Structure 1
Amino acid sequence: MAKIYVLHENDEWTDHLTKRLEELNLPFELWHLHEGTIDLSSVPPEGIFYNRMSASSHTRGHRYAPEFAEAVLAWLERHGRTVLNGSRALRLEVSKVNQYMALDQQGIRTPKTIASVGKENILAAAETLNLAPFITKHNRAGKGQGVKLFHSVEALKEYTQGEAFESPIDGITLIQQYIEAPEPYIVRHEFIGGKFLYAVKIDTSEGFELCPADACKIDDNNNQPETSGEKFQILEGYNHPVIPQYEAFLQENGIDVAGIEAIQDKEGNLYTYDVNTNTNYNSDAESVAGVYGMLELARYLGEQLNK
């Protein structure tokens, strides 16, 4: 019997999807790719395969999950299985450099960025960028890892030489132009089946932790999910000219499901800075707007299975 196979490494982020799949009575099976084996001479089962591997897997102790996922995807694609968010999507998920190059090829504006390896080269990159303020971020990250704002190269030097320095999991630190928005928010554009679903306005006044998943809403006192959904607001009637560009970008790169984040500066220029192929949705914001990403995703997976 053909099924929907969900490839992932985080049960907490997958629970919302499985509940929707059960609600629609769709046959599915979860493949947790933190570890395991794969017989390359075997033939994959029949069905469709949806990749939800995350760039931040190493923060949950799943250091090699993306590498194992890439091996599994290569096996599935070799046998012609229907794979949603396949190998190309995974390569973009785990590398912002790959994201920016793919966005640039599609004519989509990204912030000026210099990739660097080694603390001395991080400082040299900041000097070459010659912009203040600027930010650092990890090339392979997720959950705002390594994102810090600096007003001078000297401040960056103190950081790189101090105990608080965060070493990127792949060794690549990005030095990036800081885009100052007239109001403290960014917009995340959600796509399912390569088509625009909705846009959510995300308040950035409290920092760069912008993960929309319920599991990411952490209270500093008790580590429990917060109850307020005001940080995330789905925008009714949103219709930005960048949407067709994003859809073309997704089609060109074999990405079926994604959240794309962008920020607008004081002059009205829109900068795209992150593509999340393991996208999550904020339940509080969705309940207010009456639209549900995981339900739409489950329906889409069901349609693909029926094909």
Structure 2
Amino acid sequence: MTADLAILYEHPQWFTPLFAALDRRGVSYESLTTRTAFDPADAALPAPLILSRLAMSAFLRDAEHPIFWAQALLARWEMGGARVLNGTPALAIDTSKARQLALIASLGLAIPATRVVHRAADVPAAAATIGFPLVVKANIGGAGAGIARFDDAEALRAAVADGSLPTSIDGVLLVQDYVPARGGTITRIETLDRAYLYAIDVAGAGAFDLCPADACQVPGSAITMTATEPPAPLRDAAEAIARAASLDLGGVEVMIDDRDGTPRFYDVNALSNFVARPLDVLGWDPHDRLVDRIVGWIGEAR
């Protein structure tokens, strides 16, 4: 074990800016891909500090995705004494939108009305308790995948009958009220070490399936991202969620319900893929602050 830091990742391009920022600071690190095997009896660690950059959207890129494999690997490193940033407690939240909503609600914060099912046949009955329009979501999603809107019971029953409902790699679905986001905008609040870092407003058609990560956008997309400063109650709520979810680094998404003005938190994302062109959008580069904190974590882990 010679490196100060190991980074576990699966996306081939997303973390180039992070690696460049670490190189500029002279931080010793080892980059680890998920295309390997591990020995559960081996207590050796790649570094005393490990940063997990595993994306839930990994299943979109590879049918033989590493999401559940990584749960066991991170746990083994933790058992060996490593400090794992966004380790197994955070991953447990990241891999379940149902857990995310339960955690958010336990903090006294508003969420969209939701029912959680594990059988497609139970979706219509769950929908009847919510009303239309609604969305059906995969419990494990990513990049806006696994979400479909239904405006009436007939369309929903037809989707159940013909097997065209969204699916989740864990077999769990969420039936959720379609919240009309004020101005068609959601806010992504980023946190670092459980503290507010920055926020962006994300606007575009169909706000229920927006993906704030820039890498999820397609050429010609109408999605826009603008720096914003959320009111203090929203920043405080995001920090409370980050603490409860054990997020060393991550984003929380909220939208204002246009029907009554209620902020409804609906997503926790442990993969904080910072906004592209940060100097243009934010006026500063969050990678620099992340590396500052990583250097501090390295010192604490030694």
Q: CA deviation at 1:207?
A: 5.1
Alpha-carbon distance change, 62 to 301 in structure 1, aligned in 2, over 3 angstroms: farther
Alpha-carbon distance change, 92 to 298 in structure 1, aligned in 2, over 3 angstroms: same
Residue identity matched to 1:191: T
Correspondence list, 1:153-302, <5 A: 153-162=153-162, 164-205=164-205, 208-219=208-219, 231-235=224-228, 237-266=229-258, 267-284=260-277, 286-302=279-295
Q: Deviations over 1:35-58 (max 9, x none)?
A: 422342333144211111121211
Residue identity matched to 1:17: L
Ranked by relative contact order (alpha carbons within 8 Å, sequence separation 6 or more), the top structure is 1
Matched, 1:14 2:15: yes
Identity of aligned residues (%): 27
Q: CA deviation at 1:241?
A: 0.6
Alpha-carbon distance change, 154 to 212 in structure 1, aligned in 2, over 3 angstroms: same
* Corresponding pairs, count: 298
Aligned to 1:40: 41
Larger mean CA deviation between 280-289 and 28-37 belongs to 280-289
Distance 2:226 2:280 in 1: 10
Unaligned runs of 5+ in 1: 221-225
Contact map agreement 1:232 1:285 (CA 8 A) in 2 = no
Alpha-carbon distance change, 189 to 7 in structure 1, aligned in 2, over 3 angstroms: same
Q: TM-score, normalised by structure 1?
A: 0.89
Alpha-carbon distance change, 274 to 123 in structure 1, aligned in 2, over 3 angstroms: same
SS of the aligned residue for 2:78 comes to: helix
Matched, 1:24 2:25: yes
Contact map agreement 1:185 1:205 (CA 8 A) in 2 = no
Q: TM-score, normalised by structure 2?
A: 0.91
Alpha-carbon distance change, 286 to 203 in structure 1, aligned in 2, over 3 angstroms: farther
Matched, 1:100 2:101: yes
Q: CA deviation at 1:182?
A: 3.0
Q: Deviations over 1:268-288 (max 9, x none)?
A: 100000000012122135423
Unaligned runs of 5+ in 2: none
Residue identity matched to 1:298: V
Q: CA deviation at 1:163?
A: 6.3
Distance 1:276 1:305 in 2: 23
Correspondence list, 1:81-100, <5 A: 81-100=82-101
Q: CA deviation at 1:208?
A: 4.3
Contact map agreement 1:111 1:179 (CA 8 A) in 2 = yes
Contact map agreement 2:94 2:268 (CA 8 A) in 1 = yes
Q: CA deviation at 1:192?
A: 1.0
SS of the aligned residue for 1:149 comes to: strand
Residue identity matched to 1:261: E
Measured on the aligned residues, the alpha-carbon RMSD in Å equals 2.1
Q: CA deviation at 1:187?
A: 0.4
SS of the aligned residue for 1:167 comes to: coil
Distance 2:79 2:261 in 1: 45
Q: Deviations over 1:188-247 (max 9, x none)?
A: 000011110111000032554433333222127xxxxx7x8x700011x43331322322
Alpha-carbon distance change, 238 to 117 in structure 1, aligned in 2, over 3 angstroms: closer
Distance 1:98 1:35 in 2: 29
Correspondence list, 1:50-89, <5 A: 50-61=51-62, 63-89=64-90
SS of the aligned residue for 1:191 comes to: strand
